[in-house]
Amino acid sequence: DRLGIFSAPRAWYTIKVAFGHPGPVAVLDGGLPKWTSSGYPLEDGLPVAATQTSELFKWERNVAASWAIESVFENLETNRVLMFDARSSGRFAGTAEEPRPGSRKGHIPGGKNMPFTELVTACPGGQMQPLEELERVLLSRGMPLGELRSNAADTAAVMLSCGSGLSACVIALALDLVGARRERWALYDGSWCEWGCRHDTPIMQTSEDGEEVP
């Protein structure tokens, strides 16, 4: 990841969580900036492709790991799952401009804000926070870590979203690092790119006193 910790967690989520790769999948903490600053070598060119397949190439999609927009609409009716948004506080509240033309400002009704930047030491160029700090930040934002670690159920208790399905995976990686079970959270893949650009989706903003307003 050329930005430290930013997009690499999405690759981890796609390979390990969404498609259940049977082998180990790791994220290089600090990405390319940390690698180069530590004095490790680089190479150019394309890697040599594998000439044989193995058991590690037999993946199956885990449908429960990602939500379509229909699942979000359903959750607005049931309030069964907590929804966390990884965007900045300004974008979540609707006070900052959206980077994509045509996207409305605000957040999904009932959602909680969990800016992914609080989980890294710097952005860009940072690493994941130490485990104790990850847990503190997650709990301070209302993340039900006890429930996510529990074996009492195998369905999602938390939905993660962001602008495009990318930075929400930083929250996902943090949850994994502090011991949350992967069956207990899911990613809304369309995220704000989809929800904010449609005109049949309800949107809320946050007032100065912290209340949700249309």
Active site residues: 162
How far apart are alpha carbons 159 and 120 in whole angstroms?
20
- 191: nearest Cα among 125, 126, 128, 100: 100
Cα separation, 137 vs 115, in Å, equals: 10
User: Which helix (H) or strand (E) element contains residue 35?
Assistant: helix 31-37
Contact 119, 129 (CB under 8 A): yes
Query: Residue length, the chain?
Result: 214
Instruction: Dig out the tokens for 170 from the structure.
Output: 């930083």
Helices (H) and strands (E) in the chain, counts: 8, 7
